[in-house]
């Protein structure tokens, strides 16, 4: 008796379950790089260079509808501004931020946060620290001269240059085009 009640209860519960009807897939060739669904946060760059960020409300075969939310952080709390629903054609989207890259609202518009990568920061900080440590030790002993510490300065300069090069060569976005493309995957079976 209890098993039948449990079965009926679980079947009734499944009537109220929600499921995704469409998925927006960002693909590199046949491999899926990122997946977006209705109700999920999304950030992307338009062909005119402007960034958009918000909640993906609806997804169609050729367009997406986003509810933009602007969150401003203050010392005493946060302020959230929700804008009306906006529609964007898929062919007007030019790029998506890579995983771990933030898109923030600054200066009246959404911008990608190019704070750099951790290895690049560690190389630059390490180079400065290595140079400072060598200088402090040499000054403490009273024998510091640049001519005597050329090798240390060359190593520190090379490490700092490697950190700058990593920052300059790092790509923050997946650009739609030859390598990456968008695909709408419909789960309801309709065309």
Compute how many other C-beta atoms are within 10 angstroms of the C-beta atom of residue 119.
13
Q: Is residue 89 part of a domain?
A: yes
Q: Tell me which H or E stretch contains 91.
A: none
Give pLDDT, residue 60: 86
Looking at residue 96, what DSSP letter applies?
E
d(CA 87, CA 1): 52
* Domain co-membership, 99 together with 84: yes
Q: For the chain, where are the alpha helices, taking DSSP H only?
A: 2-14, 118-141, 150-169
Question: What pairs with residue 28 in β-bridges?
Answer: 31, 180
The structural domain count of the chain equals 2
Q: Domain residues for 129?
A: 118-169
CA 136 from chain center: how many Å?
A: 40
* Domain co-membership, 45 together with 104: yes
Give pLDDT, residue 93: 92
Give pLDDT, residue 139: 81
Give pLDDT, residue 92: 93
Compute how many other C-beta atoms are within 10 angstroms of the C-beta atom of residue 161.
13
CB burial of 125-153 (b: ≥16 within 10 Å; e: otherwise) equals: eebeebbeebeeebeeeeeeeeeebeebe
Closest CA to 94 of 175, 184, 159: 175
pLDDT tens-place values along the chain, 191 residues long: 688 888 888 887 777 666 667 888 999 989 999 999 888 899 999 999 889 999 999 888 889 999 988 888 888 988 888 889 999 999 999 999 988 777 877 777 888 777 667 788 888 999 999 888 888 888 888 776 777 778 888 888 998 998 888 888 888 888 898 899 998 887 765 55
d(CA 182, CA 25): 6
Q: Is the pTM of this model over 0.95?
A: no
Give pLDDT, residue 88: 93
* Domain co-membership, 40 together with 134: no
d(CA 116, CA 167): 6
* Domain co-membership, 36 together with 71: yes
* Domain co-membership, 122 together with 108: no
* Domain co-membership, 58 together with 104: yes
């Amino acid at each position: 008796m209890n098993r039948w009640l449990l079965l009926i209860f679980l079947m009734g519960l499944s009537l109220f379950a929600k499921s995704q009807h469409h998925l927006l897939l960002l693909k590199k060739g046949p491999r899926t790089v990122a997946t977006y669904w209705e109700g999920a946060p999304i950030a992307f760059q338009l062909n005119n260079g402007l960034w958009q960020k918000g909640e993906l409300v609806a997804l169609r075969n050729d367009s997406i509808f986003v509810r933009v939310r602007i969150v401003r952080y203050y010392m005493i709390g946060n302020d959230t501004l929700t804008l009306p629903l906006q529609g964007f054609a898929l062919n007007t989207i030019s790029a998506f931020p890579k995983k771990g890259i933030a898109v923030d609202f600054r200066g009246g518009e959404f911008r990608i946060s190019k704070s750099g990568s951790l290895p690049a920061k560690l190389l630059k900080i390490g180079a400065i620290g290595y140079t400072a440590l060598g200088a402090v030790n040499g000054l403490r002993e009273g024998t510091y001269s640049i001519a005597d510490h050329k090798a240390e300065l060359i190593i520190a300069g090379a490490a700092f240059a490697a950190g700058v090069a990593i920052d300059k060569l790092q790509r923050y976005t997946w650009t739609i085009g030859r390598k990456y493309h968008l695909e709408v995957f419909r789960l309801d079976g309709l065309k």
